[in-house]
Amino acid sequence: MKKKRKIQLARHAGFCFGVRRALKIAENSLTRKKPTVFCWGELIHNACVVQDLEKKGLRVVKDLKAIPRCGHLIIRSHGAAPEVFNAAKKRGINIIDATCPFVRKAQAIARDFYQKNYQVVIVGDKQHPEIIGIRANTKNTAIVVSGEKEAAQIKNFPRIGLLIQTTGKIELLKEVAAKLLEKTKNLTVANTICLNSFFKKEEIKEMAKDVNILLVIGDRKSNNTKKLAEVGLSYGIKTYRIESAAEIQNAWLKGKTKIGLTAGASTPDVLIKQVEEKIKFF
Ligand code: SF4
């Protein structure tokens, strides 16, 4: 007889507070200010959602020159450099700020460290828009490291202020902090990991005790989806990263009775539901 399959869906799977908020802001702006609503990069890392917003009139831009005077520019949840805000204002563009409050807090902490003459160090991905925006708040003086190996290359400083990308891992922050204690006598650490990212990772830790495999749903461009998959692997769970139910392979599920399911912060509920349905009837 075929064994019943148990699906464990993480409570915080999918859209986070910051993404929901940014989407609501975009939808409202499109209703009221159409057809002049632009977005500074893709609103969220999900192709379906971005295409849907484009159909409703949202235009993604990477250059302020593409926006007419009196146009409306949404700053997405990742935030942007102060220079973007200033240049947009100078061009007569109206800013609709959807920066996530967790990101705004990280920017304020970085700025405060910088103003107090700390060498700012950020744990994160140098190319990620959130990090580019946070770093810009230190007049681009902050050093960005991906982990303790890069932290070991930093020279000594009288004082260091350390923070981390909002989607980072607490273990990574601790490792880098330990390394930086060899570089300074005055280290101040700010845990800037957002609650949603923290809970998502804790849920994987819990699931690791029970499930046979873990499916992480999210766009290939989504950094936090990538991080969730890394967390699954770090706990020794066979982990697969997928964008949709269509990518699930029969061989992954064969003989597996306990499947863990989670999804990145930009993954809509409908995609999670489709994956759940597909696994149920496999
Ligand atoms: S992952 Fe966290 S910091 Fe990023 S948008 Fe969502 S709630 Fe905000």
SS (H, E, C) the chain: CCCCCEEEECCCCCCCHHHHHHHHHHHHHHHHHCCCEEEECCCCCCHHHHHHHHHCCCEEECCHHHCCCCCEEEECCCCCCHHHHHHHHHCCCEEEECCCHHHHHHHHHHHHHHHCCCEEEEECCCCCHHHHHHHHCCCCCCEEECCHHHHHCCCCCCCEEEEECCCCCHHHHHHHHHHHCCCCCCEEECCCCCHHHHHHHHHHHHHCCCCCEEEEECCCCCHHHHHHHHHHHHCCCEEEEECCHHHCCHHHHCCCCEEEEEECCCCCHHHHHHHHHHHHCC
Nearest CA to ligand 1 atom 2: 194
Asked if residue 204 and residue 149 are part of one domain, the reply reads: no
First to last CA, the chain: 15
Domain of 235: which CATH number?
3.40.1010.20
pLDDT of the residue at 2 = 59
Last residue of some domain: 138, 158, 189?
189
Asked if residue 149 and residue 86 are part of one domain, the reply reads: no
Rounded to whole angstroms, the Cα distance separating 246 from 41 reads 27
pLDDT of the residue at 237 = 95
| Pocket mutation for ligand 1, best pick of 49, 97, 100 (most atoms within 8 Å of C-beta) | 100
167 lines ligand 1 (CB under 6 A): yes
Asked if residue 115 and residue 82 are part of one domain, the reply reads: no
215 lines ligand 1 (CB under 6 A): no
Average pLDDT rounded to a whole number, residues 32-40: 88
164 lines ligand 1 (CB under 6 A): no
Which structural domain, as residue segments, surrounds residue 207? Answer: 6-14+195-280
Phi, psi at residue 178, to the nearest 5°? -60, -40
Closest C-alpha among 82, 112, 113 to residue 97: 82
Average pLDDT rounded to a whole number, residues 73-87: 97
Percent of the chain at pLDDT exceeding 90: 90
Asked if residue 174 and residue 131 are part of one domain, the reply reads: yes
Q: Taking 90 as the threshold, does the pLDDT of residue 252 lie above it? A: yes
Asked if residue 79 and residue 28 are part of one domain, the reply reads: yes
Asked if residue 132 and residue 66 are part of one domain, the reply reads: no
Question: For residue 235, how far is its CA from the centre of ligand 1 (angstroms)?
Answer: 23
pLDDT band per the 50, 70, 90 thresholds, residue 187: very high
pLDDT band per the 50, 70, 90 thresholds, residue 10: very high
19 lines ligand 1 (CB under 6 A): yes
Question: For residue 197, how far is its CA from the centre of ligand 1 (angstroms)?
Answer: 7
Give pLDDT tens digits for 106-135: 999 999 999 999 999 999 999 999 999 999
Asked if residue 84 and residue 47 are part of one domain, the reply reads: yes
Between helices 17-33 and 47-55, what is the axis angle to 10°?
A: 20
15 lines ligand 1 (CB under 6 A): no
* Residues annotated as part of the active site: 130
Number of C-beta neighbours around residue 240 at 10 A:
17
pLDDT band per the 50, 70, 90 thresholds, residue 3: low
Question: For residue 255, how far is its CA from the centre of ligand 1 (angstroms)?
Answer: 36
Average pLDDT rounded to a whole number, residues 50-75: 95
168 within some domain:
yes
Nearest CA to ligand 1 atom 5: 18
Asked if residue 156 and residue 201 are part of one domain, the reply reads: no
Domain of 53: which CATH number?
3.40.50.11270
131 lines ligand 1 (CB under 6 A): no
Last residue of some domain: 142, 161, 189?
189
pLDDT of the residue at 1 = 55
Can you tell me which residue has the tokens 């484009």? Answer: 54
Q: Taking 90 as the threshold, does the pLDDT of residue 280 lie above it? A: no
| 255 φψ region: left (φ > 0), alpha (ψ -120 to 50), beta (else) | left
Rounded to whole angstroms, the Cα distance separating 6 from 172 reads 32
16 lines ligand 1 (CB under 6 A): yes
The minimum-distance atom of ligand 1 relative to the CA of 224 is 1
Closest C-alpha among 63, 127, 113, 123 to residue 93: 63
223 within some domain:
yes
When divided into structural domains, the chain yields a total of 3
Distances, alpha carbon 83 to alpha carbons 19, 54, 90, in Å = 23, 26, 10
Asked if residue 158 and residue 233 are part of one domain, the reply reads: no
Last residue of some domain: 189, 205, 221?
189
Asked if residue 126 and residue 91 are part of one domain, the reply reads: no
1 within some domain:
no
Question: For residue 112, how far is its CA from the centre of ligand 1 (angstroms)?
Answer: 21
43 within some domain:
yes
Asked if residue 166 and residue 114 are part of one domain, the reply reads: yes
Phi, psi at residue 95, to the nearest 5°? -95, 135
